[in-house]
Chain A
Amino acid sequence: MLLLRVFKKPQNFRVYFRQIIFEIDNIGISSLPIVAIISVFMGGIIAYQSAYAIDSPLVPLYVIGFTTRESMILEFSSTILCLILAGKVGSNIASEIGAMRITEQIDALEIMGINSASYLIFPKIAAAMFIFPFLVVISMFLGLAGGYMMGVLTDAFTGSQYVYGIQAFFEPWKIGYSIAKSISFAFLITSLSSYFGYYTQGGALEVGKSSTAAVVCSSILILLFSLIYTKLFIGH
């Protein structure tokens, strides 16, 4: 029911467009630092652990680059990154809308004749679905760079072996798959968090509860859908 109201025709396209730009900044650009830090570290850790695990001379060291690329593209940069964003963005959305509910700001919108569900939630969903793929692609590049830096800094493997590895057996569709996953997760995070925020009742304590519920539900659904996608597109 809420989604039906969210996707009703916008009452003023100019105002909505401005809100979407604001949300792209709020949801996406402001998340760049955490995305960058986590991706670089995760890429480095995956590469180093792979190097540590491969102690057989029969396994070529370029496998490290290959493993890091596959891990980053298929799982980390889409699923794990979205889990992290569910914590950051999801709690932010639920608490923002929840606080607006308990301080009658949503009632004020309704009384002005504004479709509050659409005005508050649609720009967040649209912005997240637009910006998440960029964050995912950035995360992929930074993760791979992190792996490279780790190898070079620790001498666990050479840069050329690693670069060869990340090019080996490359299937471009996996990037599309990862981006598609992130778009669906963007929708899940923003719509669920908005739902919990929008139907908050009570005071500050309930805003906190809505925020927690939004993060927990988003995280579980992200994992569930990631499993389904893996079974559908990767598993044979």
Chain B
Amino acid sequence: MIEVKNIFKSFGDHKVIDDVSFVFEQGKTNLIIGESGSGKTTIMKLMVGLHEIDSGEILYDGQNFPVLGVQEKQEVRKKIGMLFQGGALFDSQTLEENVRFPLDMFTEMSKEEKLDRVNFCLEKVQLTGKNKLYPGELSGGMKKRAALARAIANSPQYLFCDEPNSGLDPKTSIVIDNLIQSLTHEFNITTIVITHDMNSVVEIGEKILYIYKGKPWWTGNSKDILKTTNPELVDFVFASGFMKEVFNAVKNK
């Protein structure tokens, strides 16, 4: 479980995160949603320590991450898996080497054990047999899945996914969403997904935090969000006329 308490962050005079508190539960896909520029990715970067918070607490199973020493932070980070928006795979390494990388760095596994683990992770993301391909040879969806395989290689307790569906077609997006959710349930991970994709919200939103202009505006789940009367959230969810029509059609049935 990760708990953020009253976190604030400004860049210069511009307040980006304004008193955000939320509990990200273990074994659930926790979503942070909001418009572009609302502060979603900043929250995630604060949580993993890529930015420093101005004030507040970020508790990883009770450990206040921002005040930990460098060594202790690295220990916490070893329990984190992260799927970046662009994948962030290492270009000079094959898929196998990418997935094996955290195992090489932090485990004493034998070569065979590492290979087994790599193959297991690749199988989980449906990339069996693609071990020797380089990131440049993969499609957008495959890159995301490969990055997911690397993220889960070291059996993380916490999984962060930054806009996992950006740039993907709806069908591939669903595959990625389902993968994230099934991995979360199977390995009982605390998963945090940053997204503004409404399909993802409806598909996998077990716990949702809606951020509006850096503030926590609404919390709930994928069922609640369709019944919301919060005007800003309604604007966000039903921004497209198509979504509105679909929603009304479902409601009137």
Contacting residues, chain B, for A107 (C-beta < 8 A): 50, 84, 88
Contacting residues, chain B, for A11 (C-beta < 8 A): 105-106
Nearest residue (CB) in A for B147 is A108
- Tell whether, in the assembled complex, residue B82 and residue A108 are in contact, meaning their CB atoms are under 8 Å apart: yes
- Tell whether, in the assembled complex, residue B102 and residue A112 are in contact, meaning their CB atoms are under 8 Å apart: yes
> Does A49 reach chain B (CB closer than 8 Å)?
no
Tell me, rounded to whole Å, the shortest Cβ–Cβ distance linking B74 to chain A: 4
> Does B113 reach chain A (CB closer than 8 Å)?
no
Distance in angstroms between the alpha carbons of A103 and B90 in the assembled complex: 9
- 25 contacts across the A-B interface (CB closer than 8 A): A11-B105, A11-B106, A12-B104, A12-B106, A14-B104, A15-B104, A15-B105, A103-B88, A104-B86, A105-B90, A105-B91, A108-B82, A108-B84, A110-B50, A111-B49, A111-B50, A111-B160, A112-B80, A112-B102, A112-B105, A112-B154, A113-B74, A113-B76, A113-B106, A115-B74
Q: Which of B73, B78, B84, B101 contacts A104 (CB 8 A)?
A: B84
Query: B: which residues have CB within 8 A of A?
Result: 48-50, 73-78, 80, 82, 84-86, 88-91, 101-102, 104-106, 154, 160
Distance in angstroms between the alpha carbons of A137 and B85 in the assembled complex: 47
> Does A51 reach chain B (CB closer than 8 Å)?
no
Distance in angstroms between the alpha carbons of A107 and B75 in the assembled complex: 16
Tell me, rounded to whole Å, the shortest Cβ–Cβ distance linking A71 to chain B: 39
> Does A114 reach chain B (CB closer than 8 Å)?
yes
- Per-position 1/0 for A92-128, Cβ under 8 A of B: 0000000110011101101111110000000000000
Q: Which of A1-40 contact B (CB under 8 A)?
A: 11-12, 14-15
Tell me, rounded to whole Å, the shortest Cβ–Cβ distance linking B77 to chain A: 4
Contacting residues, chain A, for B76 (C-beta < 8 A): 113
Query: A: which residues have CB within 8 A of B?
Result: 11-12, 14-15, 99-100, 103-105, 107-108, 110-115
Contacting residues, chain A, for B104 (C-beta < 8 A): 12, 14-15
Contacting residues, chain B, for A111 (C-beta < 8 A): 48-50, 77, 80, 82, 160
The 3 closest A-B pairs by CB, nearest first: A113-B77, A108-B88, A113-B78
Distance in angstroms between the alpha carbons of A110 and B106 in the assembled complex: 13
Tell me, rounded to whole Å, the shortest Cβ–Cβ distance linking B10 to chain A: 19
Tell me, rounded to whole Å, the shortest Cβ–Cβ distance linking B182 to chain A: 22
Known: A110-B77, A111-B77, A112-B78. A104 touches B105 (CB 8 A): no
Contacting residues, chain A, for B84 (C-beta < 8 A): 104, 107-108
Contacting residues, chain B, for A114 (C-beta < 8 A): 74, 105
Distance in angstroms between the alpha carbons of A202 and B74 in the assembled complex: 26
Tell me, rounded to whole Å, the shortest Cβ–Cβ distance linking A23 to chain B: 12
Contacting residues, chain A, for B89 (C-beta < 8 A): 105
Tell me, rounded to whole Å, the shortest Cβ–Cβ distance linking A27 to chain B: 14
Nearest residue (CB) in A for B78 is A113
Contacting residues, chain B, for A15 (C-beta < 8 A): 104-105
Contacting residues, chain B, for A115 (C-beta < 8 A): 74
- Tell whether, in the assembled complex, residue A103 and residue B86 are in contact, meaning their CB atoms are under 8 Å apart: yes
Distance in angstroms between the alpha carbons of A235 and B153 in the assembled complex: 59
Contacting residues, chain A, for B80 (C-beta < 8 A): 111-113
Distance in angstroms between the alpha carbons of A103 and B135 in the assembled complex: 13
Contacting residues, chain A, for B90 (C-beta < 8 A): 100, 105, 108
Distance in angstroms between the alpha carbons of A235 and B208 in the assembled complex: 73
Tell me, rounded to whole Å, the shortest Cβ–Cβ distance linking A75 to chain B: 35
Distance in angstroms between the alpha carbons of A103 and B84 in the assembled complex: 9
Contacting residues, chain A, for B50 (C-beta < 8 A): 107, 110-111
Nearest residue (CB) in A for B50 is A107
- Tell whether, in the assembled complex, residue A105 and residue B105 are in contact, meaning their CB atoms are under 8 Å apart: no
Tell me, rounded to whole Å, the shortest Cβ–Cβ distance linking B100 to chain A: 11
Distance in angstroms between the alpha carbons of A16 and B150 in the assembled complex: 20
Contacting residues, chain B, for A110 (C-beta < 8 A): 49-50, 77
- Tell whether, in the assembled complex, residue A112 and residue B77 are in contact, meaning their CB atoms are under 8 Å apart: yes
Q: Which of B75, B91, B160 contacts A113 (CB 8 A)?
A: B75
Task: Identify the interface centre among A12, A99, A104: most chain B CB within 10 Å of its CB.
Answer: A104
Contacting residues, chain B, for A103 (C-beta < 8 A): 86, 88, 91
Contacting residues, chain B, for A14 (C-beta < 8 A): 104
